[in-house]
Amino acid sequence: MASIVVDDIHVEFPIHGSQQSLRETMFRQAVGGLIRRNKSGRGGIVVTALSGISFTLNDGDRLGLIGPNGAGKSTLLKVLAGVYEPVAGRVLIDGRLTSLLDVMPGLDGDDTGYENIMTAAMLFGIKRADILAKLPEIEEFSELGEYLGLPVRTYSSGMMSRLAVAVATIVEPGVLLIDEGIGAGDARFAARAAVRLSDFISRSRILVLASHSEGMIRKTCNRAALLRSGRLLAIGDVEDILSQYRDLTQTPPEAVATSTDVPDQANSRA
Amino acid sequence: MTSQGPLPQATTALRDLVEGLSQWDVYGRLGWLDVKRRYRRTVLGPGWSVINLALFTGSLGMIGVGLWNQSAEAYLPFLTSGLVVWMLISTMMTEACAVFVNGANFVRQIKLNYSILVYALVWRNFIGFLHNLVVYVVVALIFPPIGIMSPATLLVVPGLALLLLNGAWIGLLLGLCCLRFRDVQQLVGTVIQISIFITPIFWPPEVLKGTSRAIFVAYNPLYHLIEVVRAPLIGQVPSASTYWAVLITTAVGWTVAYLAFSRFRKRIPYWS
């Protein structure tokens, strides 16, 4: 039984070195989390990226995260992935975790494709021998040919995502976290990536997918969650949530109440 | 990771350090890639650090022999061994400032034991040290120090182990400080620049007397950190006070670094 338990998490980003103009900017911007002054009065800026989010996922759940830019979708994925530890609340996960986020982990532009494959795979926790065994599969799927021997800074962004998808999908997914950007590329590759990803997703026990694409969420997910300014507005049936999302994107930002209360505990840590 | 029910995603500083240490395949690889990257697109590759050190030793050696009225046979092995060890310490300190700053592609993309980045730093500097040691070996062949073939030379191994152990806490502590306060990096650069002159590397400790000797030699932790490797390299046994000083530095340094790491560990991805 795989499961994810998210229990009242709060995430805040202290922005160090922000400009004076940014300091003066507060509240009510159309996109992003809530920006406010650090209450301790030291003049810092804190962006509340997620606040008070709770949900539970079990085997077979495929959750789509949807919401406007800066709603906290990617941050939530990174919290689930264990990249960010929330300032309050906790995340419990049962199952082998695989995350396909925006950049290949450990990516270095001066290293060759092969070197980056090895680094990323090791960070995913795959043993060296297993990576070597999977290498032909990666070569075949990525179709990068001799480019794999060149530094990845020479790659186009489409080639980068070929590499990322090829590497990430060699692991056995248990709990799978995917950020939408992955699987870009030209149309033919996008189709192949879609096949490989959907096969990969079907082997996973739990999926959390962040996307702007209603089509992708409708096709892949059996549950959906609507995020806005770091808050979970609704979670439930896909069609229901998607229609709420459509309503939301048609209303001006002022219409949605963004309250400013944040737990005190979170303030002191920022 | 299965069947014990859901586990918290949060981890502890101690677990990070211990589990990270066991992932030698990861930091071994990262450290090695760093070395490779540094020399990529250069013709001489690792030869450069050797050439750099050889020129440094050659020119300073000539001045030092005149300045301190020493024989070349005595001074050059002392200078070269000191410089080789100093370069290990100073590059570990310099790179410590960037260890988490440059690690954003790690800490913001995947859950990992952050200590791995520090171990990779120590490992790649150890590789660099082995390169530079070539210069000392050449000097020692030309001007063999008395006692170079004695068992005292074997003390290089525990000495290096102690030094690298100190490198790890320096990496952890400076890495954290510089990630949060980017000015610390400038400060560290300045301290290193001054240290090379106020620590007995170019000049033998014997030339100082009285209070200044106490300040710059006896109570200078950098002197003892160098001495614990340099003395065996030139065939001498480091004094007991040097070992004590190094042990105290190690204990104090690790305590502070551990406290800082356990307090601020989870802020690392937020600060990077």
**Residue of B35, B102, B110, B266 for testing the chain A interface, max A β-carbons within 10 Å:** B110
The two beta strands, A3-15 and A88-94, are antiparallel
Put simply, whether B137 touches A (Cβ < 8 Å) is: no
Percent of chain B with pLDDT over 90: 63
| Overall average pLDDT of the A183-207 stretch | 77
Quote the CA–CA distance of A180 and A77 in Å, as a whole number. Answer: 11
In a domain, A246, yes or no: yes
Q: Which of A186, A204, A222 is the last residue of a domain?
A: A204
In a domain, A101, yes or no: no
* Amino acid found at B70: Q
Three-class SS of chain A? CCEEEEEEEEEEEEECCCCHHHHHCCCCCCCCCEEEECCCCCCCEEEEEEEEEEEEEECCCEEEEECCCCCCHHHHHHHHCCCCCCCEEEEEEECCEEEECCCCCCCCCCCEHHHHHHHHHHHCCCCHHHHHHHHHHHHHHHCCHHHHHCEHHHCCHHHHHHHHHHHHCCCCCCEEEEECCCCCCCHHHHHHHHHHHHHHHHHCCEEEEECCCHHHHHHHCCEEEEEECCEEEEEECHHHHHHHHHHHHHCCHHHCCCCCCCCHHHHHHC
The two beta strands, A231-236 and B7-8, are unpaired
Instruction: Please tell me the total number of residues recorded for chain B in this structure.
Output: 272
Shared-domain flag, residues A136 and A86: no
| Mean pLDDT over each residue of chain A, to the nearest integer | 80
Three-class SS of chain B? CCCCCCEECCCCHHHHHHHHHHCHHHHHHHHHHHHHHHHCCCCCCCHHHHHHHHHHHHHHHHHHHHHCCCCHHHHHHHHHHHHHHHHHHHHHHHHHCCCCHHHHHHHCCCCCCCHHHHHHHHHHHHHHHHHHHHHHHHHHHHCCCCCCCCHHHHHHHHHHHHHHHHHHHHHHHHHHHHHHCCCHHHHHHHHHHHHHHHCCCCCCHHHCCHHHHHHHHHCCHHHHHHHHHHHHHCCCCCCHHHHHHHHHHHHHHHHHHHHHHHHHHHHHHHHC
| Overall average pLDDT of the B106-122 stretch | 93
* Angle between helix B47-67 and B72-96 (nearest 10): 130
Lowest mean pLDDT among A19-28, A231-240, B210-219: A19-28
In a domain, A86, yes or no: yes
**CA–CA min distance A244, chain B (Å):** 31
Of A215 and A61, more confident: A61
Nearest residue of A to residue B265, measured between CA atoms: A85
In a domain, A23, yes or no: yes
Q: Which of A169, A204, A239 is the last residue of a domain?
A: A204
Shared-domain flag, residues A224 and A90: yes
Q: How confident is the model at residue A185 (pLDDT cuts 50, 70, 90)?
A: low
Shared-domain flag, residues A71 and A136: no
The per-residue pLDDT for A101 is 81
**CA–CA min distance A70, chain B (Å):** 16
In a domain, A263, yes or no: no
The answer to whether B106 and A123 have CB atoms below 8 angstroms apart is yes
Put simply, whether A7 touches B (Cβ < 8 Å) is: no
Residue A170, pLDDT > 60, answer yes
**CA–CA min distance A153, chain B (Å):** 13
- Kindly determine whether residue B25 and residue A94, on different chains, have CB atoms separated by under 8 Å: no
| Overall average pLDDT of the B191-206 stretch | 91
In a domain, A105, yes or no: no
In a domain, A251, yes or no: yes
Residues of B in contact with A83 (CB under 8 A): 107-111, 269
Shared-domain flag, residues A160 and A219: no
Compute φ and ψ for B251, nearest 5 degrees: -65, -45
**CA–CA min distance A55, chain B (Å):** 14
| Mean pLDDT over each residue of chain B, to the nearest integer | 90
The per-residue pLDDT for B149 is 82
Q: Which residues contact A67 (CB under 8 A, 6 or more apart)?
A: A73, A226, A227, A228, A233, A245
Closest Cβ opposite residue B26 in set A94, A122, A174: A122
Interface of B with A in 161-220 (CB under 8 A): 180, 182
Highest mean pLDDT among A36-50, A177-191, A214-228: A214-228
Shared-domain flag, residues A144 and A178: yes
Residues of A in contact with B109 (CB under 8 A): 83, 101-107
Shared-domain flag, residues A179 and A250: no
Shared-domain flag, residues A129 and A65: no
**Residue of B1, B4, B7, B9 for testing the chain A interface, max A β-carbons within 10 Å:** B9
Encoded tokens for A143? 């179709």
Number of domains into which chain A is organized: 2
The answer to whether B196 and B86 have CB atoms below 8 angstroms apart is yes
Lowest mean pLDDT among A258-267, B57-66, B152-161, B185-194: A258-267
Shared-domain flag, residues A200 and A221: no
Residue among A98, A101, A87 at smallest CA distance from A13: A87
**Residue of A94, A128, A167 for testing the chain B interface, max B β-carbons within 10 Å:** A94
**pLDDT, tens digit, 9 for 90 and up, residues B11-45:** 889 999 999 999 999 999 999 999 988 888 788 87
Percent of chain A with pLDDT over 70: 80
Put simply, whether A124 touches B (Cβ < 8 Å) is: yes
Instruction: Please tell me the total number of residues recorded for chain A in this structure.
Output: 270
Shared-domain flag, residues A45 and A121: no
* CATH for A49: 3.40.50.300
Closest Cβ opposite residue A123 in set B108, B112, B269: B112
**pLDDT, tens digit, 9 for 90 and up, residues B62-100:** 888 888 888 888 899 999 999 999 999 999 999 999 999
Percent of chain B with pLDDT over 70: 98
| Overall average pLDDT of the A239-266 stretch | 64
- Kindly determine whether residue A95 and residue B33, on different chains, have CB atoms separated by under 8 Å: no
Shared-domain flag, residues A199 and A221: no
Range of the domain at A134: 113-204
The per-residue pLDDT for A257 is 44
Shared-domain flag, residues A217 and A198: no
Q: Up-side HSE of residue A247: CA atoms within 13 Å toward CB?
A: 11
**CA–CA min distance B143, chain A (Å):** 41
| CA dihedral of A232, A234, A238, A243, whole degrees rounded to 10 | -110
Put simply, whether A160 touches B (Cβ < 8 Å) is: no
Quote the CA–CA distance of A184 and A102 in Å, as a whole number. Answer: 11
Q: Which of A165, A183, A204 is the last residue of a domain?
A: A204
Q: Is the four-CA dihedral B261, B267, B269, B272 of positive or negative sign? A: negative
- Kindly determine whether residue A119 and residue B29, on different chains, have CB atoms separated by under 8 Å: yes
Q: What pTM was estimated for this model as a whole? A: 0.87
Shared-domain flag, residues A142 and A218: no
Residues of B in contact with A48 (CB under 8 A): none
Query: How many C-beta atoms lie closer than 10 Å to residue B116's C-beta?
Result: 23
CA angle B250, B256, B258 (to 5 degrees): 90
Put simply, whether A44 touches B (Cβ < 8 Å) is: no
**pLDDT, tens digit, 9 for 90 and up, residues A16-66:** 765 444 444 444 455 566 666 655 545 567 888 999 999 999 999 999 999
In a domain, A14, yes or no: yes
ipTM entry: 0.81
Residue B1, pLDDT > 50, answer no
Quote the CA–CA distance of B272 and B226 in Å, as a whole number. Answer: 32
Residues of A in contact with B108 (CB under 8 A): 78, 83
Quote the CA–CA distance of A260 and B240 in Å, as a whole number. Answer: 61
Put simply, whether B33 touches A (Cβ < 8 Å) is: yes
